Amino acid sequence: MNVKTIEWRDDKVVMIDQRVLPIEEVYVECEDYKQVADAIKTMVIRGAPAIGVAAAMGVAQGALGIDSKDFATFEQKLNHVCEVLLATRPTAVNLRWGVERMKHKLATLKNLSISEIKQELKKEAITIMEEDIAINRQMGDFGQTLLNSGDTVLTHCNAGALATAGWGTALGVIYSAKAAGKTIEVYADETRPFLQGARLTAWELMKNNIHTTLITDNMAASIMRQKKIKAVIVGADRIAANGDVANKIGTYGVAILAKEHDIPFYVAAPLSTIDIRCPTGDQIPIEERSAEEVTNFYRQRVAPDGIHVRNPAFDVTPNSLVTAIITEKGIIKAPYLETIKKLF
Ligand code: MRU
């Protein structure tokens, strides 16, 4: 795909605007960390790994904007930058991971001048972006071994190139299968209410010449019953130490459907999405988004004024429904408490 999700260009963080795809292909240029934070919050950029990269770049941009000459003040000001970025979205742990990696880098740079530190932090953010693409390719290489040519895969939300620095996690597995000479078809859930499936997954799969069928979320059960789906592959926003998986709202339902129809349910996610400090899915914070996303359909109001609304953006799939987790270090299965521990 000839589209860059996120890039560092002339000290600006450039992102494709995922709020308006696929109708418009426009880019947002963030000139400082506050604009990066705003872009994460308003979902110009979304998807756990992409958010992690954006946060790291935000920290680097924040560092460039600090004019202090001594390390202690510089660090204090950079901590404030980190807090602003951390407050943008609560569920995807990659955000915290990206910020913490930048903080760890800073801790190794104490002996350098402030201007050298700024350059090193900028390099680190760009490295994080490049590593993300390489990690996705590794995951894809492992994950594609689970698929045979002719298989049809169902996916939920967008866990593709647009949700990462490139290639993708769940969709990366499809792209790697294609690169290995396999023909794979995809059913994409539209993913109400933000329509990541209809707008983003459908768009990027078509750009990559993958035969794709778009369905509304409530069609998945019937399609599975017709024996059209060989595997489900989704991404994740946070995986707890016991293998419980937080991902886009609706994923839990898809996992239950997969179990009922004897279809394997795979989760593709980098280690940066695994939160070993979080014991189970019950401790994962779930973002609640605005009511308008539910009362409106693509900006058109469809529900009566005054109606009560819930809009949790994510749900938790218990580890018992997860057939395997595909990571850059290999494919792991239950008992996840043990297999995840071994990864770290
Ligand atoms: O609200 P979003 O669009 O940021 O949610 C994204 C998802 O739920 C993805 O499935 C997840 O981040 C995995 S992306 C590789």
Delimit the domains of the chain by residue range.
Answer: 6-137, 139-343
200 CB within 6 A, ligand 1: no
Cα(10)–Cα(24) distance, integer angstroms: 24
pLDDT for residue 88:
98
164 CB within 6 A, ligand 1: yes
Strands across the sheet with 6-9, in order? Answer: 6-9, 12-16, 27-30
86-145: pLDDT as tens digits = 999 999 999 999 999 999 999 999 999 999 999 999 999 999 999 999 999 999 999 999
Q: What angle do CA 326, 266, 248 make, to 5 degrees?
A: 105
Cα(180)–Cα(172) distance, integer angstroms: 12
Give the distance (Å) from ligand 1 centre to CA of residue 246: 9
Cα(199)–Cα(330) distance, integer angstroms: 30
Q: How far apart are the first and last CA of the chain?
A: 32
**Over the chain, what is the mean pLDDT?**
97
pLDDT-based confidence at residue 300 (cuts at 50, 70, 90): very high
Q: Is the dihedral of CA 244, 246, 250, 254 positive or negative?
A: negative
pLDDT-based confidence at residue 298 (cuts at 50, 70, 90): confident
Peptide bond before residue 49 is cis, with ω within 30 degrees of 0 = no
Residue 121: HSE in the Cβ half-sphere, 13 Å Cα cutoff: 33
156 CB within 6 A, ligand 1: no
pLDDT-based confidence at residue 3 (cuts at 50, 70, 90): confident
Q: Is 177's pLDDT higher than 90?
A: yes
pLDDT for residue 133:
98
Give the distance (Å) from ligand 1 centre to CA of residue 245: 12
52-76: pLDDT as tens digits = 999 999 999 999 999 998 999 999 9
Residue nearest (by alpha carbon) to ligand 1 atom 5:
47
Mean pLDDT of 317-326: 98
Strand-pair partners of 328:
none
pLDDT-based confidence at residue 215 (cuts at 50, 70, 90): very high
21 CB within 6 A, ligand 1: no
Catalytic (active site) residue 244: no
User: Which residue type occupies 5?
Assistant: T
**Would you call 320 exposed, middle or buried from its count of C-beta atoms within 10 A (0-12, 13-18, 19+)?**
exposed
Q: Is 1's pLDDT higher than 80?
A: no
139-343 has CATH 3.30.420.40 classification: no
pLDDT for residue 78:
98
Query: Alpha helix locations (H) across 65-188?
Result: 71-86, 94-107, 114-143, 170-179
Q: Which CATH number fits domain 6-137: 1.20.120.420, 1.10.357.10, 3.40.630.10, 3.40.50.10490?
A: 1.20.120.420
Q: Is 176's pLDDT higher than 90?
A: yes
pLDDT for residue 299:
83
Marked catalytic residue, from 237, 244, 275, 315: 237
Mean pLDDT of 10-36: 98
The helix, strand and coil proportions of the chain, stated in percent and rounded to the nearest 5, come to: 45, 20, 35
